[in-house]
């Protein structure tokens, strides 16, 4: 097996645990099979010049990380990554900051990644680059003369041309994608948006094999919907820790139904709209007052970016308003929590919930939706309410699909979910669990790596 080289903005611990993120576990498995290399930023910001690779090993896997100096971190990560590409690719051009200084830092760090990674590459390597932070990395590696198979996977949505063209350097950004041998997107919708951009803006073409051509270059592009380790989550849900969490929650609910939302504190997740919909649910269906509780878990993220400070304040205000309006001395409608829980504990909370409320305004896939499904009790499963703008909606057809902007409609679907008969809940769950199990994390990883390796062999 050829050595797999994974490149990502951050590198997981060199000892991923079962409770770590599913992506880290899946990539670690592939790296161990191929005696691979994982390269990326250490997460450390230093004064002066960063960039010297730090090498560690765990078994037969090599981990290589570099530090970033302060200006590079500000421009590349906080700037172009989090304040330009992240909002833009999530269809929030109104929140995007278009600063050419950020763009300069973005390319500077990608060039640094290429220089440091290039020292570690070997003939026969297969390189898999992950996500929007590193779009230009392939081009920088090609400039240095590396001709190894190069794959890129975009974990977030790819915007339609009308959105992407608000970026002042959009053609240069997309051109840098064309140097890869394979581009993976989460959904067919993202793939179509990319193809449409190439046709309309670059005058390129797309053939019936999925080969996209422009500027005299060609790249294979395909949808590879990312999955979860469904069996692992199912096992977590019946673990002792999960059972303790579930029993503790059930005791505190005193017979009430639980609705759960678990999201990073991010403006893409539709959290203000979700709280608004829940308020309308309590207003429009008053018989449910005192009978249902919404648990919203929203761990902070990117707390030094102004937009994230604002969304936290907005949610604290909204949850306080709703609780002040509807609470009784023995019942509070919303439990709003700003901290993270490990995956076993979350699996227990998912299993104790009657409804999983997953309503992002835009999401590449949304693995919380799939984890909610995998954690359910097959004999008495909960109902998933899912935004049509999450990539997972194209697979989880057994969910109740909603428009998160239509808060009255979401309120109506919450009522429908609470009243749904057991037979219908079981049927919907079985359909979703089949999809989650068949399209799991291992299948995603193996499909991408196999396709990239085949393209490299034929090219």
Mean per-residue pLDDT, 345-362: 97
Is residue 155 annotated as a catalytic residue, yes or no? yes
The residues pairing with 45 across neighbouring beta strands, listed in sequence order, are 68
- Token pair listed for 430: 């079985």
Between helices 343-351 and 367-374, what is the axis angle to 10°?
60
Write down the pLDDT at residue 307: 79
Question: What digits encode the pLDDT tens for the residues 257-311?
Answer: 999 999 999 999 999 999 999 999 999 999 999 999 999 999 987 766 777 888 9
Torsion from C-alpha of 15, 225, 397, 237, nearest 10 degrees? 0
- Residue 316: which residues within 8 A CB-CB, separation 6 or more? 336
Mean pLDDT of 166-171: 96
Residue 213: Cβ-neighbour burial (10 angstroms; 0-12, 13-18, 19+) = middle
Residue 19's pLDDT band, with cuts at 50, 70 and 90, is: very low
Q: What is the pLDDT of residues 395-436, one digit of tens each?
A: 999 999 999 999 999 999 999 999 999 999 999 999 999 999
pLDDT beyond 60 at 82 = yes
Q: Where are the alpha helices (DSSP H) in 127-265?
A: 137-143, 161-164, 170-177, 188-202, 230-237, 240-253
Give pLDDT, residue 52. 81
Q: Is the pLDDT of residue 240 over 80?
A: yes
Lowest mean pLDDT among 8-17, 30-39, 182-191: 8-17
What are the tens digits of pLDDT across the range 59-74? 999 999 999 999 999 9
The 3-class secondary structure across 293-355, one letter per residue, is: EEEEECCCCCCCCHHHHHHHHHHHHHHHHHHHHHCECCECCEEEECCCCCHHHHHHHHHCCCE
pLDDT value of residue 20? 46
DSSP per position, 232-253? HHHHHHTSHHHHHHHHHHHHHH
The stretch 321-348 carries a mean pLDDT of 96
Please tell me which residue in 155, 170, 405, 409 is annotated as part of the active site: 155
Q: Of these residues, 75, 266, 363, 440, which one is catalytic? A: 363
Token output for 282: 């309590």
The yes-or-no answer on residue 363 being catalytic is yes
- Mean pLDDT, all residues of the chain: 94
Is residue 26's pLDDT more than 80? no
CA angle 328, 329, 331 (to 5 degrees): 60
Judged by average pLDDT, the poorest of 10-14, 73-77, 385-389 is 10-14
Calculate what percentage of the chain has a pLDDT beyond 90.
Answer: 89
Q: How far apart are CA 227 and CA 267, in angstroms?
A: 23
Q: What is the DSSP string of 79-122?
A: IIIIIIIHHHHTT-GGG----HHHHHHHHHHHHHHHHHHHTT--
Residue 321 has pLDDT above 90, yes or no: yes
186-233 tens-digit pLDDT: 999 999 999 999 999 999 999 988 899 999 999 999 999 999 999 999
For residue 138, is pLDDT > 50? yes
More confident residue, 353 or 11: 353
pLDDT above 70 covers a percentage of the chain that reads 96
Q: Any idea of the CA torsion for 415, 346, 40, 126, to the nearest 10 degrees?
A: -80
**3-class SS at 66?**
strand
Evaluate if residue 130 carries a pLDDT over 70. Answer: yes
Structure tokens at 178: 């064309």
| pLDDT classification of 365: cutoffs 50, 70, 90 | very high
Confidence (pLDDT) at 165: 98
Contact status, residue 53 vs residue 118, Cβ threshold 8 Å: no
Alpha-carbon distance of 375 to 295, in angstroms, equals 17
User: For the residues 151-161, what does the mean pLDDT come to?
Assistant: 98
Backbone angles phi, psi at 56, to 5 degrees: -130, 165
pLDDT band per the 50, 70, 90 thresholds, residue 21: low
């Amino acid at each position: 097996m050829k050595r797999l080289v994974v490149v990502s903005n951050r590198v997981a611990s060199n000892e991923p645990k079962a409770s770590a993120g599913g992506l880290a576990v899946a990539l670690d498995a592939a790296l161990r099979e191929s005696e691979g290399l994982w390269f990326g930023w250490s997460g450390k910001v230093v004064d002066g010049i960063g960039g010297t690779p730090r090498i560690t090993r765990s078994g037969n896997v090599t981990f290589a990380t570099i530090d970033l100096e302060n200006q590079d971190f500000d421009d590349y990560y906080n700037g172009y990554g989090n304040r330009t590409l992240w909002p833009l690719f999530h269809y929030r051009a109104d929140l995007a900051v278009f600063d050419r200084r950020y763009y300069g830092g973005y390319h500077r760090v990608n060039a640094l990644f290429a220089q440091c990674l290039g020292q570690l590459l070997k003939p026969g390597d297969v390189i898999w680059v992950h996500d929007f932070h590193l779009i230009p990395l392939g081009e920088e590696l090609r400039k240095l003369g590396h001709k190894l198979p190069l794959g890129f996977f975009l974990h977030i949505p790819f915007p339609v041309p009308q959105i992407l063209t608000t970026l002042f350097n959009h053609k240069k950004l997309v051109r840098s994608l064309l140097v890869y041998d394979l581009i993976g997107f989460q959904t067919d919708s993202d793939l179509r948006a990319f193809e449409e951009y190439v046709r309309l803006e670059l005058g390129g073409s797309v053939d019936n094999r999925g080969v996209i051509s422009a500027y005299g270059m060609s790249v294979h592009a395909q949808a590879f919907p990312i999955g979860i380790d469904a069996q692992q989550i199912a096992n977590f849900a019946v673990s002792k820790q999960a059972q303790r969490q579930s029993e503790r929650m059930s005791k505190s609910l005193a017979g009430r139904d639980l609705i759960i939302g678990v999201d990073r504190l991010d403006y893409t997740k539709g959290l203000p709209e979700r709280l608004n919909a829940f308020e309308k649910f309590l207003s429009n269906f008053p018989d449910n007052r005192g009978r249902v509780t919404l648990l919203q878990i929203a761990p902070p993220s990117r707390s030094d970016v102004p937009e994230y400070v604002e969304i936290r304040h907005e949610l604290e205000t909204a949850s306080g308003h709703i609780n002040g309006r509807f609470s009784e001395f023995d019942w509070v409608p919303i439990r709003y929590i700003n901290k993270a829980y490990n995956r076993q504990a979350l699996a227990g909370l998912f299993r104790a919930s009657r409804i999983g409320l997953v309503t992002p305004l835009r999401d590449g896939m949304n693995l919380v939706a799939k984890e909610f499904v995998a954690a359910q009790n097959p004999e008495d499963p909960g109902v998933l309410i899912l935004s049509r703008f999450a990539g997972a909606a194209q697979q989880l057809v057994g969910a109740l699909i909603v428009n998160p902007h239509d808060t009255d409609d979401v309120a109506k679907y919450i009522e429908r979910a609470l009243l749904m008969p057991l037979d219908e809940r079981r049927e919907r769950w079985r359909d979703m669990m089949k999809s989650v199990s068949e399209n799991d994390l291992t299948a995603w990883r193996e499909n991408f790596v196999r396709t990239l390796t085949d393209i490299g062999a034929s090219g």
